[in-house]
Structure 1
Amino acid sequence: MFGKSKLAEIVAAFQKKVSERRSKIETRIASLETEAKQISNKIEAVMKELVDYELAEDDAGQAKCQKVIRELQLELERVQGLIKAYQTELQKTGSDEKDLANIRAAAQKEREARLHKIKELVAERDSIEQQIKQLENRLAELEQEINITKTDQEAQTLMAIATFIDPRIQKLPHFEHKRYLELWINGQDEAMEQTLARHTRPEEPERRVTYLNQPEKIIHA
């Protein structure tokens, strides 16, 4: 949403820094432990020589061994002290106040940007919802208008002057008037004639009847 996070970059850099520091400390401890082991082995070897010199009552040899042992013990104490110091350092977080202050500032800035973005998104959502509501209302209006428009109004309006349009319409049942006018609007003359023919009885020929001693009368069917 916001692209690459600046806070994430700072945190990643911090983690890398801490990881590198820890790795250096662990490497140094391992090196010092190896060195301490070597010194201890040397001390043990010189101790054996000292025993031999003591058994041989060799004062010069004993003095030499004792000097070497003291030097090695001092060196061992120094190395062991360093190991302890590095182990203590390993327990620390490896961060300073400046690092944490930068991380806090980045987190606050990113949160502020996120909250601002939320406000923008909420405003946009509300606007779209309002537009949707308006469109839905307009859609309902259009549906109503379409339904009204679908109703044939033209023929209904012409009903008032139907006999002026075609007097023969009076020969049709009332329910056929509207349809007849629709045919007229469409210019469907043939269909109009068919409608008239369907509802108009053909004229029957005149029948002449003569009564005894009376003039001839014409009877219509």
Structure 2
Amino acid sequence: MSALLEVKGLKSGYGRIPILFGVDLTVADGEYLGILGHNGMGKTTALRTLMGHLPTTDGSVVFAGKTITHLKPHERSRLGIGLVPQGREIFPDLSVLENLRMGLASAPKEDRAVIDMVLQDFPRLVRLLDRRGGALSGGEQQLLALARCLCTKPKLILLDEPTEGIQPSIIEEIIETLLALKSRWKMSLIVVEQNLEFITSLSDRILHIQKGRITEELDRETLLAREGQMVPS
């Protein structure tokens, strides 16, 4: 598989407070990459920097052969990068259908066929199309946030802490949905998580991030073999 994303020496932070200290990673076409770590280790900062919401202070980001290190978020979105943020950030006063339509906001014209195609992978949302986003459960909101992101037809999805506040039954549904999308949409994924079971169920490789640095890379089998012994610190 060829490299879809290549990140070298990535540094970023908030104002004068550095958070990332030279992160290197690659994501191949069709690969699901997990980033595992506790709160405050730089997981969300890494995704926000890759999306362009935080400035890169050093290093480089190449996506699909194009250097995007200093592109704005909407420019990265048009190239095929989508972000599903922590907390989901749906529009609570809009209906499920209206939320999905927001995923088409940057398209030249609205294409309901895209929404219909996305809904094939999210059957739970079909019966909820007229319901307000804020009336959905946390798990349903996470599915909606994923579906809205897919309406942009991304090549790479950045998924931030998707299991936070989600009931176990929906977590299993999210795993099944994402694995189905991998083959159906031919997309890549970076997921950051603290939930070890979730991240090992999805990821081809897992990176361990600690204090803004990647400290270890593991494949799924190795991490599962050590699961009963290793607690990321």
- Shorter-chain TM-score category? under 0.3
Greater Rg by CA: 1
* Higher helix proportion (structure 1 or 2): 1
Q: What TM-score results when the alignment is normalised by the length of structure 2?
A: 0.18
